[in-house]
Amino acid sequence: MKTRVKVLGAAVLVAVLGGVGCAGTKEAARDVGAAVPGLSQNREGVVTDMDKDAYRIAVKAVDDPSAPEAWFVLTPGTRLERDGQAVTWDDLDEGTPVRVSYEPATGPEKTYKVEILTGDKADEVKRKAEHLGQ
């Protein structure tokens, strides 16, 4: 079944990248990638809400203002990092700039890694968030 899904996803991606459809190639590829399970995605944004009991965070993307806020479940397998070093759940707060690596899923996304951004990248994400009124 996984092979079948991967083949279907690849076929759809080839069709989209080949120019089929109305959206631009970059936008269409992103839409297809977000819809096909098994394709890893990244989201940069700020933590807008936290459910500490369920170990979930909500992140609003700063590069796509039309994208809805997304919830990410942190499991024991989710890596939490800052500057390549492991951190804990307690290091996350609302307003924290993050990059989340995940696989699209029905319901909360399957989260592989949450990177707390620092330095220039954190400043850039915060500026974008402020510009969007987040």
The pLDDT value given to residue 127: 92
The secondary structure of 89-107 as a DSSP string is GGG--TT-EEEEEEE--SS
On whether the pTM is more than 0.75, the answer is no
Q: What is the pLDDT along the chain (134 residues), one digit of tens a residue?
A: 444 444 445 444 444 444 444 444 444 444 444 455 567 889 999 999 999 899 999 999 998 878 889 899 999 999 999 999 999 999 999 999 999 999 887 776 789 999 999 999 999 999 988 887 75
Distance of CA 20 to the CA centre of its chain: 26
The pLDDT value given to residue 12: 44
* Spatial contact of 57 and 71, defined as CB atoms under 8 Å apart: yes
* Spatial contact of 37 and 104, defined as CB atoms under 8 Å apart: yes
The pLDDT value given to residue 110: 81
User: CA dihedral in degrees (66, 10, 16, 21; nearest 10)?
Assistant: -90
Count CB-CB contacts under 10 A for residue 46. Answer: 23
The pLDDT value given to residue 37: 54
